């Protein structure tokens, strides 16, 4: 998994339309969430679209995550985010690193922990 902070997830640019996913294939499930956003579930990753623009991707934390060109072991991600993001916070069961556009679900007992990459400003109101 490759993340470019607030720019892209595996080369799918934030702000892109659904057409950017054409190479990925057909989603396993498609629905509107409680916020009215389109969610395309591909099994191991869920892409969310607000007003037809890609704003968020949620996925199980991989063994290694590439963040802005740096390799980070999944088991060390929270420590990495805490050390490198001065705005890091733990809130509502998430470790949130706004500078990187990443949030990790702390309430998930599964060792793979669900992780969310988000567009700039998307999680700003979560305090």
Residues 62-97 have pLDDT tens digits of: 999 999 999 999 999 999 999 999 999 999 999 999
Give the residue-averaged pLDDT of 94-120.
88
pLDDT, tens digit, 9 for 90 and up, residues 27-44: 999 999 999 999 999 999
In whole angstroms, what is the distance from residue 33 CA to residue 2 CA? 25
pTM, to two decimals: 0.92
- Residue ranges of domains in the chain: 2-59, 61-118
Letter string b/e over residues 82-95, b meaning 16 or more CB atoms within 10 A of that residue's CB: eeebeebeeeeebb
């Amino acid at each position: 998994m490759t993340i470019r902070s607030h720019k892209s997830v595996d080369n799918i640019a934030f702000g892109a339309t659904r057409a950017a996913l054409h190479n990925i294939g057909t989603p396993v499930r498609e629905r509107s969430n409680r916020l009215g956003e389109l969610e395309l579930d591909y099994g191991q990753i869920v892409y969310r679209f607000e007003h037809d623009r890609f704003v968020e991707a949620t996925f199980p934390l991989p063994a290694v995550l590439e963040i802005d060109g740096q390799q980070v072991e999944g088991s060390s991600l929270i420590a990495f985010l805490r050390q490198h993001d001065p705005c890091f916070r733990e809130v509502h069961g998430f470790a949130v690193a706004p500078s990187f556009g990443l949030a990790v679900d702390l309430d998930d007992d599964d060792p793979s922990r669900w992780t969310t990459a988000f567009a700039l400003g998307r999680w700003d109101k979560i305090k």
